[in-house]
Chains A and B, each alone.
Chain A
Amino acid sequence: MIIALAGNQNCGKTTLFNALTGSNQHVGNFPGVTVEQKSGEIRGVKNYSVVDLPGIYSIRPYSSEEIVSRDFILDGKPDGIINIVDATNIERNLYLTLQLLELHIPMVLALNMMDEVRSNGGTIDVKMMSEKLGIPVVPISAVKGEGVSELVNRIVSVTKDKVYPTIMDFCPVGAVHRCIHAVAHLIEDHAQRAGVSARFCATKLIEGDDSFAHRLELDQNELELLDHSVLEMEHDTGFDRNEALADMRYTFINGVVDASVVKCHESKGQHRSVMIDKVLTGKYTAFPVFIGVMFLTFWLTFNVIGSTLADWLSLGIDWLTKLVDSGLTAYGINPVVHSLIIDGIFSGVGSVLSFLPLIVTLFFFLSILEDTGYMARVAFIMDRLLRKIGLSGRSFVPMIIGFGCSVPAIMSTRTLASDSDRKMTILLTPYMSCSAKIPIYAVFSAAFFPKYQAFVMIGLYLFGIALAIIVALVMKTTAFRGSPVPFVMELPNYRLPSPKTVFLLLWQKAKDFLQRAFTIIFIATIIIWFLQTFDTKLNVVTDSADSLLAIIGHYISAVLKPIGFADWRVATALISGFIAKEAVVSTLSVLLNTSTAALGSALSGMFTPLSAISFLVFTLLYTPCVAAVATIKKELNSGIGTVGVVIMQCVIAWLAAFAVYQIGGLLT
């Protein structure tokens, strides 16, 4: 049996999903889009899996979230639906419920946050609501796990016994009623053939969703009859088609709410949120608080907790590497295999693995900020800035995180509301210079601009941001042209996050990252090792200048000539920067045969100040490390798209460096 879990955003859907399935979840994407699909087995019952649909307010064909939800419900043929609603915000939540009821699929309503309603002095007559809606209603508290087993029993019984919703008519006798029934009658045979509810299709057709005309294969005559019915209704009600249906649904909901809900005046949660918002979105306090929160998050992640954990982890990896190293030496294994294991796998995967603590710590803070409702406020205060480049306020946070590390930044685009915002943010985030590039900037600026080191560093960061803005403006008018998804967003009440949800999220992100570290990153490190170790005749090289990597470096250095650094060692360092940006500096010092400390003076022989600037610009902009690229691939859900992104990044980097080098050459 397949159960669809549907509900609005911010109604506790993820928490309920976690309570239903435990850690037994599969996370993937819906086909072709960057919308996350989570599914899992319901605990304690056999053969029941639940699919977590994206949070939506209505079944519409506009955002990709709405489309995948609609397609899953219509084509995925779920055996039952759990519709979770926020009991503290019942009116708007029931709007989706009415559309789901029309689907004529066994359904149970999970009335979430009932504990909050009660503590605010409100009550809901569950029996009455169930009667009015024609489906079982189960009060639950997903955070506390209350009512979840009752919910499971109910969904099992309605799906086993095929108990369909008893009410599908939300219209009082009148023009709207006539129209819906006429259309439903008109398309009944088509709907039966397509295996979908005629009633559902009828309202969607009246609302003007043309995809249903295709789905049901309506002919010209039927379309004209449909139009005629709708026009008649519009004439009789004085509303247009969409207004009429929205009004019908909300009028019905008001009837349900009046009969079954005793609201309290203003809930404690709302009152608390208003007080907190006075500071967090206040005219003078909003930005200082935001900067403070981001600073604290970064400081704790990159300086205190995350970096300490990372240090411990790399100590562990070093220890293990030494142990395996001496073990292999004692065993007397073939030196090439030895080098593969130690220099290739251990050092490559190890360097990427050391990101893991940073990612987990960063996500710990981010998920708290998200679950408490603060991220929605960040979107609220930042929207004005980002709208100019075609994004909405929500994209701000992933970009800020990009200054720390692109990997969690790109992973965090999951929380963005629209598919196109998400794609655009993924493409722009790598321009926020990540912290792994700092060693490169430090070495070069110390060697060539000792007096202006800080100036050069800040200049690079600003240059990255400026380029992101230009790229965004170009994308806005080309690839992402068209009407954007409107920014109409709910500001949820502040709530304490559920530890279980936070923990499960961290576990998933860690698992995700480890999976990539041992698949795509593992392979990439072996390839680089292979190129470093062998020459064209597959002999092990003694001098790194003979290796395959150096030969490739020679070829690439020809491409790099117009931008000022035609040295194969530099090219090779850039290639190894693909594994991790820190490796650029370490590779250069290996190839130049100096210590990292003396690298500066060795470099001054190879670069002029101008070509050094050009090199810095190139490293700022060219493709991010393999871990970030693997993340981009995962989130974009497209291999070809990712290759395109990498090529685009390299081309832009080359063009920018070329402009800097050539224009600089004219000036000096």
Chain B
Amino acid sequence: MRLYLVRRLTGSLVTLIGVAVLVFLLLRVLPGDEITARFGIESGSLTPAQRESLERYYGLDQPLVVQFFTWLGSVLTGNFGISVTSGSSVARLIGRALPVTIELAVLSTLIGAVLGVSVGVMAASNPNGFRDGAGQTFGLLGLGIPNFVIASAIIAFLAQRFGYFPAAASYVDFWEDPLINLQQQLYPALTLGVALAAATMRTTRSAFIEAASQDFVRTARGKGLSARRVKWRHVLGNSLTPIVTIVGIQFGYLLGGTIIVEEIFALPGMGRLVLTGISQREYAVVQSSVLVIAALFVVVNLLVDLAYARIDPRVRLT
């Protein structure tokens, strides 16, 4: 188990370093540099001397390696730089957007997992029966209907029934007013959750059917266990690995922000932050956001690996 943990941790660290290098290089490779970004077309009229002094000011005269480690050093000490357009620190911007995204991700994943696993088990309990057909139809619809359609339908319903229109300016933090906050988060979470549930349902269904055909399930029934115990303990227990995998991937993906849903429901999350950052050439914002998102993704993957070991004792040996 210790070896397993050490291996996963090392893997995570290597991934993170890789992401840092990649993000750093990508931004250097893109046409234009920070000076161009800041001065726009006027940067063409800078004299070589002015440009040189600006480069020295921003540290751009240093070799790439030095620049990388300077940046990495400041990121590690929590200094993500300053957003040029808003003037506030990038750390503060991320600090505001990240909780919105994390809350949305947690809620959507919960809805998706609970709905997906229950419909999946229901469908798999009687393959090709009526419930299976209903479950599969739900799965196809959930996968097939794009997010923005579901979202628009929900918004139309909300506006008509409650006269409610989402607006970014009116977003309320959970700590300020949990009730209003949950109201604002619930509908986007439902929108995302339904789509996630469809994928989880299909994974659950096939994993469950496969596990149900195993010999040990026959043993369990032969012992005189109740049908319920056989189903939830023995069959579902042995279908958990693929389910955890898909739910983990979904959660990690959601932590990167969901541009369409955030946009429609006017949630000031990571998706919007990155999108605005890109359109305004806010390199510091984009660079740091991507790094934070990647770090979270790596952490989620690590948690999924730990879950595998928790589920299956054989994994602890590898």
The answer on A and B forming one complex is: no
A residues whose Cβ falls under 8 Å from a Cβ of B:
none
